[in-house]
Amino acid sequence: MLVTTKRILNDAKKGGYAVGAFNAENAEMVWAIVNAAEELNSPVIVQTTSSTLKYFPPVYFANIVKAAAAIASVPVAIHLDHSASYELAKACIDSGYTSVMIDGSALSYEENISVTQKVCAYAENFGVPVEAELGKIGGKEDDTECSEDQYTDPNQAVNFVERTGISSLAIAIGTAHGIYAKTPELDLNHVANIRKVVSIPLVMHGASGLSDTVIRDSVKKGISKINFATELRIAFTDTVKTYFVEYPGDIDPKKYMGAARVAVKGLVKSKMLVCGSAGMAK
């Protein structure tokens, strides 16, 4: 069933688990993510980035996920990840996305508030929840790049949430987008401090490559949504590469793409188990 992220993330916050948000690049990855959720009876978020939506427009992915959700017994949301513009967020809402993120973290604080308010005002007309980011998360995510972390200030977070009306907040605690070159030093107590003063669900970006222990601890401290992207791309691509080593003359996309989607499904299931969302579908 197709739902908004507001419903499933509020349930996660109350239940003390996190919902995985998994980036999909094609129909095979959507199949893998939704089927993993079905097998574990887990709520799930399928999300796309701005670069993915340059490859296929929002309406393509919206309808692929809608079709998958229509035959699924678990809650499925489709979310726009890391939009840097109001225009893309609007296009996704118009196309049927049930959640969007506006990322104004590269802007000044007041500019971030302004663009977030604008997206929230439009999204409210359709009952679509909005995620925003406060602080700066290191690494590169599509067109968004940051060389240094800037931790989210708890007091500023309170003001930001009150002034924008967002439904979830992505916070900076030392994570980074992409695969880590070295073990990151995360401040999970910072999560707990923000959780004490902010009532809406908190989001952690840059989870690819983090240990299971760190992910579990972040959930215990108050994270309700965790994003996974790079690891899924690696699993998909490495499986296709391996397939062609074994079957260099094969030309049937269903075979090598099919093998890749099975690999991604296995990875997604493992992340759901770590997040604690297995068995939590309502």
Any idea which residues carry the catalytic annotation? 81
Residue 103 labelled as part of a binding site: yes
Residue 227 labelled as part of a binding site: yes
Residue 79 labelled as part of a binding site: no
Residue 209 labelled as part of a binding site: no
The H or E element that residue 20 is part of is strand 19-23
Joined together, the tokens standing for residue 140 give 């590169």
Residue 190 labelled as part of a binding site: no
HSE at residue 121, side-chain half, CA atoms within 13 A, is 8
Residue 263 labelled as part of a binding site: no
Q: Compute CA distances 137 → 2, 40, 147, 148, 176, whole Å.
A: 29, 30, 9, 7, 6
- Looking at residue 19, its amino acid is V
The H or E element that residue 163 is part of is helix 154-164
Residues 136 and 20: their CA atoms lie apart, in Å, by 21
Buried b / exposed e along 41-51 (16+ C-beta atoms within 10 A): ebbbbbbbbbe
Phi, psi at 172, each rounded to 5°: -100, 120
Orientation of helix 253-275 relative to helix 212-221, angle to 10°: 50
Residue 95 labelled as part of a binding site: no
DSSP 152: P
Helix/strand/coil for 79: strand
Residue 160 labelled as part of a binding site: no
Residue 178: exposure state from Cβ atoms within 10 A (0-12, 13-18, ≥19): middle
Q: Which residue has the tokens 């299931």?
A: 269
Residue 236 labelled as part of a binding site: no
Annotated binding-site positions for dihydroxyacetone phosphate: 178, 206-208, 227-230
Annotated binding-site positions for Zn(2+): 82, 103, 133, 177, 205
Annotated binding-site positions: 82, 103, 133, 177-178, 205-208, 227-230
